[in-house]
Amino acid sequence: MKYNITDTIPGEEVKFRNPPKEFLEAVGGVEGMRKFMYDFYDRIYESNIAHFFPQDEEEFAKIKEKNTQFFIQICGGPAVYEDVENLNEYMIEFHKDFTIDERARIEWLGTMQEALEDLNIDPKLKEAFWEYVEKFSKLTVNRF
């Protein structure tokens, strides 16, 4: 599978679809998704963008779980953010507190690619998940 990364263009309208529920099912449901996302965030903790996250292991564990819950819900799993009307918009707003440039986005996506490559699931499901994170991540970039 080819993991394409397209440039973020300021002001561009970004259209995306949430990953299909079949992705969640293919990785092993909620617990499989948790394992996948924990693997991803453990890699992030060792990456060039680790400074975006708390360096205290207990605090990092809380962020890892919270973000994992986002991905579980966005893939059709149980709603944890029940009081949030639009989960994607909530996450875009949340990221405004951080200075995120294209370089950081590409590092984040590269780490996601590594985690996805380790999954033994249908490549079409990986592609659907990748399309979501690649496009959605553009909306978190706030420094050009």
Phi then psi for residue 57, to 5 deg, are: -60, -35
Question: In the chain, what percentage of residues exceed pLDDT 90?
Answer: 84
Q: pLDDT band for position 11 (50/70/90)?
A: very high
What confidence tier does 31 reach under pLDDT thresholds 50, 70, 90?
A: very high
- The Cα–Cα gap between 58 and 68 comes to 15
**pLDDT in the model for residue 90:** 82
What mean pLDDT value characterizes the chain?
94
- Among 95, 102, 110, 93, smallest CA distance to 138 is for 102
CATH, domain 21-138, list 1.10.600.10, 2.60.40.420, 1.10.490.10, 1.10.3720.10: 1.10.490.10
Q: Which pLDDT value is given to residue 92?
A: 85
For CA atoms 123, 35, 21, 13, give the dihedral sign.
Answer: negative
For the cut 80, the answer to whether the pLDDT of residue 82 exceeds it is no
pLDDT for 96-131, tens place per residue? 888 899 999 999 999 999 999 999 999 999 999 999
Residue 94 pLDDT level (bands cut at 50, 70, 90): confident
Is the confidence at residue 83, as pLDDT, over 90?
A: no
What single-letter amino acid sits at 75? C
Which ranges of the chain would DSSP assign to H, the alpha helix?
21-26, 29-45, 57-74, 87-95, 102-117, 123-138
Q: Could you tell me the residue ranges of all domains in the chain?
A: 21-138
Q: Which of 17-26, 83-92, 97-106 has the lowest mean pLDDT?
A: 83-92
Give the pLDDT score at 143.
92
- The CA distance from 40 to 61, in Å, is 12
